[in-house]
Amino acid sequence: MPEYTELLACYNTVERWYSSVKSTSALQLQAIWADPTKAEIERAEKDLTKAQGKGKKVPLSTNRAAQGHVYCLDATSSIRRGSGAAKLPVPVSQKPGKRNKAKPKPASGQQLLWPHRGEGAPLRTLKGLKLCDVSCTPRTIVLELGKLTLQLQPLTHTTAQPYTRHQFDSEIAMVPCKDDMRGHRVGIGLDFGDYILCFVTADNLFATYWTVQGLPLTVKHYDVWERHNKFLLGVVSIIRKRKQYGWHRSQSLAMNVIRTVYDQIFGGVGVYTVTEAFHLAG
């Protein structure tokens, strides 16, 4: 997930907003916001109680998280989002080579929200991160932020929603997310000063992938529209492989195989699109 059509709708929202404000706003990334999960609220409540018992000053972020309000992250944040069961391709910088002969393990699909250059290498500040361009792949929104690229995958029940500074401060930031008081969660909010680009979600089913500019994107899928020939070559490779190893070895449904085993080739084909594809195929 998501379906290609869902992703395009999300991308068009972001692209229209970006096109309308890029000439009047600096779009320097100033802060990153997120709503806490239930577990994170409970942990913040314990930290708050513990700190108050010792008479210590409590960080504003902890105070807001304990109340279920959207709060600012920083370089010490260990908040992760995404699917823990999913395994991602090994980053280029970790692949075996002359200096690194050990075979690395695939990265977890659950990634840090705070910008980083790799596991254990968070940025100290957001200085130098500026929104320069917006694009998409069949399953992700791609935001070029200067020295880093943010690839966001809205897995389920997640979409983009830009807010003005006034809308965010006077409405979103004032209503807590716990007990479903607001009706949605801020999965991640990119604060550009005049505007906050939020990816709002019903159940935090989204993922963020930070990549150093110039390196290949973490999540890649063939785009049937933009690179049709490559998509066809991918389909041919499947046919050749099935012919080589036997047509009847797999016991899985073809619809499931397309969405899971060969999802990189059939990018953006989810549970709804796959039924339409098979219907059209007869």
What's the rounded Cα separation, in Å, for the pair 34 and 44?
A: 14
**Is residue 244's pLDDT more than 90?**
no
**Is residue 204's pLDDT more than 80?**
yes
Residues 165 and 257 in one domain: no
For residues 60-94, one letter each, b for 16 or more C-beta atoms within 10 angstroms of the residue's C-beta and e for the rest, the string is: ebbebbbbbbbbbbeeebebebbbeebebeebeee
**Does residue 218 form part of some domain?**
no
Which of 187, 212, 237 finishes a domain?
212
Residues 196 and 238 in one domain: no
**Does residue 53 form part of some domain?**
no
**Does residue 130 form part of some domain?**
yes
**Does residue 62 form part of some domain?**
no
Find, among 127, 160, 110, 129, the residue nearest to 2 by Cα: 160
Least confident of 118-122, 171-175, 216-220: 118-122
**Does residue 84 form part of some domain?**
yes
Which of 180, 212, 244 finishes a domain?
212
Would you place residue 126 in the very low, low, confident or very high pLDDT band (cuts 50, 70, 90)?
A: very high
**Does residue 266 form part of some domain?**
yes
Give residue 102's pLDDT.
53
Q: Going by C-beta distance under 8 Å and a sequence separation of 6 or more, which residues neighbour residue 32?
A: 72, 73, 113, 114, 115, 126, 188, 189, 190, 191
Domain of residue 15: give its range. 4-35+70-212
Residues 267 and 165 in one domain: no
**Is residue 199's pLDDT more than 60?**
yes
- Full 3-state SS string of 163-177: EEHHHHHHCHHHCCC
Note the pTM of the prediction, 2 decimals: 0.85
Residues 11 and 141 in one domain: yes
Residues 82 and 164 in one domain: yes
Would you place residue 175 in the very low, low, confident or very high pLDDT band (cuts 50, 70, 90)?
A: very high
Residues 183 and 141 in one domain: yes
**Does residue 220 form part of some domain?**
no
Residues 14 and 124 in one domain: yes
Percent of the chain with pLDDT over 90: 54
Residues 127 and 207 in one domain: yes
Find which of 51-55, 132-136, 268-272 is predicted with most confidence, using mean pLDDT: 132-136
Residues 102 and 234 in one domain: no
Residues 186 and 151 in one domain: yes
Residues 241 and 161 in one domain: no
- Total structural domains within the chain: 2
**Does residue 256 form part of some domain?**
yes
